[in-house]
Amino acid sequence: MQRGKARQAGGEARDIAQAVLAWYDREKRELPWRTEANEQPDPYRIWLSEIMLQQTTIKAVLPRYAGFLRRWPDIEALAGAELGEVLAAWAGLGYYARARNLHACARAVAEQHGGRFPASEAGLRQLPGIGDYTAAAIASIAFGLRATPVDGNIERVVARLFAVTTPLPAAKSKIRALAETLTPAARHGDFAQGLMDLGATICTPRRPACGLCPLRPECRGLAEGLAEALPYREEKVARPVRRGAAFVAIRSDGAVLLRERPLRGLLGGMLEAPSSPWGEAEPNGNSLRDHAPLKAKWLKVPGRVEHIFTHFHLELSVYRAEVGRDAVPKRAAMPECCRFVARRDLAGAALPSVMRKILSHAFEAEAKAAKRSSPAVRASTAPPRARRRSA
């Protein structure tokens, strides 16, 4: 009896794999890191795409991916880049530890593996920034090995297919084990990408197109009326709020004072507007002055800058100061890790999104102040002169 059940389960898995592969051959998305059937996959391109796509959308990744390839067409080129260049090119994609690990991984492959990625899951997992999912994805897609990557899309497809009602994240190990039972004996990379595309285009988080799904006959979640609700998730805890103050010093030539953050930790190695530590309370009085990077006439900009990180909500007050070219006397030391950056160079600087929000907030206040102080505005707002009486 047990043997018969195993054969039945094996046949069901083969049917599912064949349905996914047939659908993928017809409907697969055209993406720049994918190859045709007669082409050899490029591990570098696949690795780069997988790192970029972590917690980011394809729409956001495509232009950055193309820009990275133009600038660093292979692993040796990326390994030879400076970390600051990589961080600047990454700015806007978020989760900046990925960029630091990307650079470290490129150097490890170039220096320790002769410029070639290890062709095994175990070897790939030894590289910086490559965990279980990424190792399995590269192994299956780039090297054709029997591996089972499980990203968010595949997780959703499998949870619905098998009607897994245990909430995430507790269900992850069960979903992974079920996904492994489906991986076919051949075309491992195509099968993985087929499941990814299925989750991205058909088995979507909201309003899945079940009528178009090639797995509709086998989907237990659909049969039980649970498909759209799955996977269940544990209720999220409300994000705590952190507060602080950011300081934007604008030099008379338009340059802005920026500080490099410590390499380790949140936004490590990126540039920032100098700020106070982010905590429960916003600094004020002497505490506020202690955190200012320079002695200057700091003016509080109306409103606040808000930004949502994975684990907390940030609220920052912004202070703006206009300083002369001699804001830092020649014989005095520049504030630690700080430097003035020309306004024209800010677009290409390694500034994360929250810092660009801060600068924009300060620049808007600067523009309004300049407009108020212009002669034309002063003349238009001046009280009318009393008319001279005729004799």
As annotated, the active-site residues are 50
Q: Are 44 and 75 in contact (CB under 8 A)?
A: yes
**Rg of the chain (C-alpha set):** 28
Return the number of other C-beta atoms located less than 10 Å from residue 199's C-beta.
21
Question: Cα 283 to chain center, whole Å?
Answer: 29
Non-local (6+) Cβ contacts of 207 within 8 A are 228
Non-local (6+) Cβ contacts of 154 within 8 A are 179, 192, 195, 196, 199
Angle subtended by helix axes 58-71 and 83-90, to nearest 10? 150
Distance CA 389, CA 305 (A): 54
> DSSP characters for 262-300?
PSSSTTTT-EE--BPPPBSS---HHHHHHH-SS-S--EE
Determine the length of the chain: 391
Q: Could you tell me the CA-to-CA distances from 364 to 38, 258, 275, 283, 367 in Å, in that order?
A: 54, 18, 19, 23, 5
